[in-house]
Amino acid sequence: MNAALNTGTAQRAASYYSASLNDQTQYPTLQGTVEVDVAIIGGGFTGVASAVELAERGLKVAIVETNRIGWGASGRNGGQVTGSLSGDEAMRKQMRARLGDDVDDFIWHLRFRGHDIIQQRVARYGIDCDLKRGHLHAAMKPSHMAELEGFATEAMLRGMGDQVELLDREGVRRHLDSPLYLGALKNQRNLHLHPLNLCLGEARAAHGLGALIFENSQVLEIIHGPRPAVVTAQGRIEAKQVMLAGDVYHKLEPGQLKGKIFPAMGGIVTTAPLGDLARQLNPHDLAVYDCRFVLDYYRMTADGRLLFGGGANYSGRDSRDIAGELRPCIERTFPALKGVPIEFQWSCAMGIVVNRIPQLGKLSENVWYCQGYSGHGIATSHIMGEIMAEAITGTLEQFDTFAGCSHIRVPMGDLLGNPLLAAGMWYYQMLEKLR
């Protein structure tokens, strides 16, 4: 059982989000031995959301995090909470044998369950995370519009007619001062927010419910058995159940997990505050992403900056100049921003699964894992947190639906997996040019 990938530090990763925190709480390093019902490895959305769910059910929970709460992709992503599911078609094919004709309803419910959990939690615990409604899924070619029309039709059949609207080119121009798009689907059910403030707010909620939280506490080993435990350099958590929720940021349990999930690096920048120009460019304050396989995504922050991400790097290595790579995309999208100062740039590692279906399972009788959202982590992690809490407390139906899915395991792990992902994305980019 190898040590976790990251070495631990008292500092947060530099980003716009870490520079605009509402909560500076520092949790202690694990020292000595503690006993709980459930030990959770990983202080991102999966671990924290699961902790809230379990603590609300009356269980004593401990979170142990190598770095700081929200240190990884949970605190560095684009901040969009959308009804898109990576891997929905693969889910439909694999889950049909178990769910039958109910599979379509199951997947549709998943699309928006995360939204409901987040909104309810923000309201219940008073979490200040700049939560806003409204999103555009933008088309750059006619084939994209056909895709959006299909989703809009299903949304209307499912009672969302008052929340979605198809826009033509002129309709988009009333929402965005950009020449790029020939149409879009406007969705008022989708959300956008400050993800690090949400994650920290949920951690505070879990702590208020009695959860123990330990930062700068790298897990060195998971001990299996009737009474499992997690071991760090200075401490140990003994538990009835252990949940591994580290996504792509750990190398624990390679015997069962190596070769199942791979890092893709996403780059994000924020501009200097734009003042009145922010409302001119995006008067309805919507989050946006386009329909391409490798897409751009952006929104305005609470203080009027453009936050812009794109160009995922499937080599698993960070870009040396994120701002240099994204500036042409920004200026193509918004010509009025030519030469705009970029004040923050950062990257995050997204956990990519080959078939894009989130991976839920058990490593032994009392040790569970949950990982792999393939770039759709905010909503999906909250859905999975609810499913994992249900499973750990004895309701296994939804867990078994996911755990029963087959996944490709790539030999040699990242060494072969990331080149295969890069080749796969090149293939899909070539298809993009043809559709």
Residue 101 lies in a domain: yes
Rounded to whole angstroms, how far apart are CA atoms 301 and 78? 10
Given this model, what pLDDT does residue 7 score? 32
Q: Do 299 and 323 lie in a common domain?
A: yes
Tokens of 318: 């960070």
CATH number at residue 202: 3.50.50.60
CA–CA distance, 324 with 342 (Å, rounded to integer)? 10
Residue 96: inside a domain:
yes
- Cβ(244)–Cβ(363) under 8 Å? yes
The answer to whether residue 359 sits within a structural domain is yes
Indicate yes or no: pTM above 0.75. yes
How many C-beta atoms surround the C-beta of residue 409 within 10 A? 14
Q: Which pLDDT score, from 0 to 100, does residue 129 have?
A: 98
Does a structural domain hold residue 77?
yes
Residue 231, beta-bridge partner list: 221, 236
Q: What is the pLDDT of residue 150?
A: 95
In sequence order, which residues have a C-beta less than 8 Å from that of residue 238 and are 6 or more positions away?
A: 33, 34, 35, 36, 39, 227, 228, 229
**What phi and psi, each to the nearest 5 degrees, are found at residue 167?**
-115, 140
Domain of residue 311, CATH code: 3.30.9.10
Q: What is the pLDDT of residue 408?
A: 86
**Is residue 345 a contact partner of residue 323, using CB atoms and an 8 Å limit?**
yes
Q: Are residues 35 and 108 in the same domain?
A: yes
Buried b (16+ CB within 10 A) or exposed e, 2-37: ebbebebeeebbebbbbebeeeeeebebbeeebebb
Whether 213 and 338 share a structural domain: no
Do 87 and 12 share a structural domain? yes
367 and 232 in a common domain: yes
Q: What's the domain count of the chain?
A: 2
44 domain residue, yes or no: yes
Residues whose CB is less than 8 angstroms from the CB of residue 322 and which lie 6 or more positions away in sequence, other chains included:
267, 268, 269, 345, 346, 347
Residue 269 sits in the same domain as residue 169? yes
pLDDT at 375: 85
- Give the residue among 141, 177, 230, 207 at the shortest CA–CA distance from 434: 141
Q: Are residues 248 and 343 in the same domain?
A: no
Q: Where are the alpha helices (DSSP H) in 70-194?
A: 88-99, 103-125, 142-157, 169-173
Residues 148 and 82 in one domain: no
1 falls within a domain: no
Domain assignment present for 2: no
Residue carrying structure tokens 């040590």: 3
Distance CA 358, CA 363 (A): 16
Q: Spell out the per-residue pLDDT of the chain, length 435, in tens.
A: 222 323 334 589 899 999 999 999 999 999 999 999 999 999 999 999 999 999 999 999 999 999 999 999 999 999 999 988 878 999 999 999 999 999 999 999 999 999 999 999 999 999 999 999 999 999 999 999 999 999 999 999 999 999 999 999 999 999 999 999 999 999 999 999 999 999 999 999 999 999 999 999 999 999 999 999 999 999 999 999 999 999 989 989 999 998 898 888 889 999 999 999 999 999 999 999 999 888 999 999 999 999 999 976 665 666 679 999 999 999 999 999 999 999 999 998 888 888 899 999 999 999 999 999 988 899 999 999 999 999 999 999 999 999 999 998 876 555 554 555 555 554 444 454 555
Residues 220 and 72 in one domain: yes
254 and 324 part of one domain: no
Q: Give yes or no: residues 272 and 371 share one domain.
A: no
Contact (CB, 8 A) for 206 and 61? yes
Residues 55 and 150 in one domain: no
> What domain range includes position 299?
132-192+262-352+413-434
Q: Which pLDDT score is estimated for 6?
A: 32
